[in-house]
C-alpha cells in the first residue's frame, strides 16, 4: 500500500479555507489540474455519499465519492470509484486545523492506495505533486485573487485579475475647481506587493486644496486627486500576506489619487479597518485622526495637567485635538472664528474657546492661564499668527508647527526662542507614516479611539464622487463645520 502525505500553511482564517474545500464540487473552480466537474444525480455537493465526476487536464476521467464530511473537525474524506488511471483502493482525507498564532490554517492532505507493480513512483508523484502540492498553491492564488468571493464564472477558467476600468477625479492643471474633471482611468492588477481596492468613500481634506492649487507639489497634472479613502480589497499580489479579498481597509498617505472608484496601491500603505467602523467614518477620520495621533503622541507627548492651544478648534483636526487632548487629561484652549464654532469646540472638549476671527488670541490665552501661557501650541495657522503664538507660549513651551493656513511660518529669531527656552518642531505627518509598522500602530490608535467614542466624527456633508468640485468649494468657503466625504 502507498501512502502520500502533504501539508501546508495557508495565510487565511480556517473558516475561509473550509468554505471552499467543504464544497465537494468546487475543485474545478480553483484547482488547475481539474477541467470540469459535476455532482452526479443533482445531489448537493456537501451530501455525504454524493459522487463527483470530473476530468483532469491530461484527459484522465475520475469518479470520486464523498464518504465523510465534518464541519466541526474540518475533515473531508473521499474515495475513488472509477478512474482511467490505476489508483486502486484510493482513500483520501483532507483535514484543516486552525493556526491560532496568526489566524492561519494548517492543511493536511493524505491518501492511501495501491498501484500496479512498477508504477508506484509515477503515481505517488502524480498525487503528491500534481494534485496536493499544486492544490495548495492554487488555493492560495484563488483566495488572493478573491476567487471565493466572486460568483462562479459562466465560462470555467475565464481569465480574471487583469486591468479594470474605474472613474477618478482628475486635476487637469493647478488652479481652481474648474480644473477638475471626472474621467475613466485604467486600474492595473496588483503587482506582487500591491492590493486593489473597490472604494466606498473618500475623505476631503484641506491638503487636497493645497495640492489642487499647486502649493504642495505632490503631483504633476494631469493626475488624480485625494489623499484618503476606505473600501474593500478586491485582489492582492503574490507577496501580500496580511490582506485578502473581502477585507475592509483604508489608507490616508502616499500619492494622491483617492477620489476614485478603484485604486491599486502598495499594501504597506493600507491599514485594516475594524468591523465596527463603516467605510464613510474611516474615510472621514483616518487622515485627520492620524494627524491628531502624531501631534498628541509623537511630535509632542501630551501629559495630564498640561495646557494645550488648538487652532481652528471646531475644524476637522481641531475637534479631534480637543476630544483626544481632553481624554489625555490636558486643559484645552481653542481658537475659533465665530460664536457658533465656539459652541462646537466646547461640545468637543475644548475647555476655553476663544473667538478671534483676526487671529488675535494671545491676550485671552494669557488671561485664562494667569499670565503663564500654554505648554504646547499645535500651530496649523503659520505666518499671520506667528507673534500671537509666540506670546501665548509659556517659558520652556513647545511650538509644534504642522500647517500653514495663513502662509508659511518664517524661521523663528534665535533670540526670541532663547528668551523663553522654546522648543520648536516642524513635523510632517508623512515622515511619521512612512514606516509601515508605525503607520499601522497610528491607524490602530485612531480606530480604537473611534470605537471607544473618544473621537467622534460629525459626518455632515456627503457628496457623490462626481461632485468633488462642489465638495472642495464647500471646504474652501470655511463656512462649514464637520467632515466632508465623497461617497462612491
Residues that bind other proteins (CB under 8 A): 5-9, 97-102, 104, 106, 108, 133, 136
Closer Cβ to other proteins, 9 or 173, answer by number: 9
For other proteins, give the closer residue by CB, 5 or 396.
5
The string of DSSP codes covering 247-262 is: -EEEE--SSS--SBSE
Buried residues in 181-194 as b, exposed as e (16+ CB within 10 A): eeeebebebbbeeb
Q: How far is the CB of 106 from other proteins (least distance, A)?
A: 5
Q: Quick check: 294 and 419 in contact, CB under 8 A?
A: no
Is the Cβ of residue 136 or residue 174 nearer to other proteins in the bound state?
A: 136
Closer residue to other proteins in complex, CB, 100/275: 100
Whose Cβ is closer to other proteins: residue 136's or residue 210's? 136
CB of 121 to other proteins, least distance (A): 17
- Name the residue among 105, 135, 436, 434 with its Cα closest to residue 244: 105
In whole angstroms, the minimum distance from the beta carbon of 107 to other proteins comes to 9
Per-residue cell: 261: 472608484
CA gap 481, 487 in Å, rounded: 18
Query: And the C-alpha cell for 349?
Result: 472638549
- Closer to other proteins at the Cβ: 106 or 182? 106
Task: Tell me the three state secondary structure of residue 159.
Answer: coil
Cell of residue 16, nine digits: 475561509
Closest contact distance (angstroms) between CB of 193 and other proteins is 17
Q: Which of 266, 270, 261 is nearest to 186 (CA)?
A: 261
Grid cell, residue 145, equals 485573487
Distances (CA, A) of 101 to 72, 73, 139, 426: 20, 19, 21, 41
Minimal distance, residue 136 CB to other proteins, in Å: 6
| Nearest residue (CB) to other proteins, 53 versus 93 | 93
Give me the torsion for CA of 273, 279, 281, 286, rounded to 10°: 50
Q: Which residues pair with 54 in a beta bridge?
A: 37, 62
Name the minimum Å distance from CB 128 to other proteins.
8
CB closer to other proteins out of 33 and 299 = 33
**Residue 99 C-beta: closest distance to other proteins, Å:** 5
- What is the grid cell recorded at 163? 486591468
Evaluate the CA torsion angle 346, 348, 351, 357 in order and state its sign.
negative
Counting beta carbons within 10 angstroms of the beta carbon of residue 144, is it exposed (0 to 12), middle (13 to 18) or buried (19 or more)? buried
Least distance CB 134 / other proteins (angstroms): 11
Amino acid at each position: 500500500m502507498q501512502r502520500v502525505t502533504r501539508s501546508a500553511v495557508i495565510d487565511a482564517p480556517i473558516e475561509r479555507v473550509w468554505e471552499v474545500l467543504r464544497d465537494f464540487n468546487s475543485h474545478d473552480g480553483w484547482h488547475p489540474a481539474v477541467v470540469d466537474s459535476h455532482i452526479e444525480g443533482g445531489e448537493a455537493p456537501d451530501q455525504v455519499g454524493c459522487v463527483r465526476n470530473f476530468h483532469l487536464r491530461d484527459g484522465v476521467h475520475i469518479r470520486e465519492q464523498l464518504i465523510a464530511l465534518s464541519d466541526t473537525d474540518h475533515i473531508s474524506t473521499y474515495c475513488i470509484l472509477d478512474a482511467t488511471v490505476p489508483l486502486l483502493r484510493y482513500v483520501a482525507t483532507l483535514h484543516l486545523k486552525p493556526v491560532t498564532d496568526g489566524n492561519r490554517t494548517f492543511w493536511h492532505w493524505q491518501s492511501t492506495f495501491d498501484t500496479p507493480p512498477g508504477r508506484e513512483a509515477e503515481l505517488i508523484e502524480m498525487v503528491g505533486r500534481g494534485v496536493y502540492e499544486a492544490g495548495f498553491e492554487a488555493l492560495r492564488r484563488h483566495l488572493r485573487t478573491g476567487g471565493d468571493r466572486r460568483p462562479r464564472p459562466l465560462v470555467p477558467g475565464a481569465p480574471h485579475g487583469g486591468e479594470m476600468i474605474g472613474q477618478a477625479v482628475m486635476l487637469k492643471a493647478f488652479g481652481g475647481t474648474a480644473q477638475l474633471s471626472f474621467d475613466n482611468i485604467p486600474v492595473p492588477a496588483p503587482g506582487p506587493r500591491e492590493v486593489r481596492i473597490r472604494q466606498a468613500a473618500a475623505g476631503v481634506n484641506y491638503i487636497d486644496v493645497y495640492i489642487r492649487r499647486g502649493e504642495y507639489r505632490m503631483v504633476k497634472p494631469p493626475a488624480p486627486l485625494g489623499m484618503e479613502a476606505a473600501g474593500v480589497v478586491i485582489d492582492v499580489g503574490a507577496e501580500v500576506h496580511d490582506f485578502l479579498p473581502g477585507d475592509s481597509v483604508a489608507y490616508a498617505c502616499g500619492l494622491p489619487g483617492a477620489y476614485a472608484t478603484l485604486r491599486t496601491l502598495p499594501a504597506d500603505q493600507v491599514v485594516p479597518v475594524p468591523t465596527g467602523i463603516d467605510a464613510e467614518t474611516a474615510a472621514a477620520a483616518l487622515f485627520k485622526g492620524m494627524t491628531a495621533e502624531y501631534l498628541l503622541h509623537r511630535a509632542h507627548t501630551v501629559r495630564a495637567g498640561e495646557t494645550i492651544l488648538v487652532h481652528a478648534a471646531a475644524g476637522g483636526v481641531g475637534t479631534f485635538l480637543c476630544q483626544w487632548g481632553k481624554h489625555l487629561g490636558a486643559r484645552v484652549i481653542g481658537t475659533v472664528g465665530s460664536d457658533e464654532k465656539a459652541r462646537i469646540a466646547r461640545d468637543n472638549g475644548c475647555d476655553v474657546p476663544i473667538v478671534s476671527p483676526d487671529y488675535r488670541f494671545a491676550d485671552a490665552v494669557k488671561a485664562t492661564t494667569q499670565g503663564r501661557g500654554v505648554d504646547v501650541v499645535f500651530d496649523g495657522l503659520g505666518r499671520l499668527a506667528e507673534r500671537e503664538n509666540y506670546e501665548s507660549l509659556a517659558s520652556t513651551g513647545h511650538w509644534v508647527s504642522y500647517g500653514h493656513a495663513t502662509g508659511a511660518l518664517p524661521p523663528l529669531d534665535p533670540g526670541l526662542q532663547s528668551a523663553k527656552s522654546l522648543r520648536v518642531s516642524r513635523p510632517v505627518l508623512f515622515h511619521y507614516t512612512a514606516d509601515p509598522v508605525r503607520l499601522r500602530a497610528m491607524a490602530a490608535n485612531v480606530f480604537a479611539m473611534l470605537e471607544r467614542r473618544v473621537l467622534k466624527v460629525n459626518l455632515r456633508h456627503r457628496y457623490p464622487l462626481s461632485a468633488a468640485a462642489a465638495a472642495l468649494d464647500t471646504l474652501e468657503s470655511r463656512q462649514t463645520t464637520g467632515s466632508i466625504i465623497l461617497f462612491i
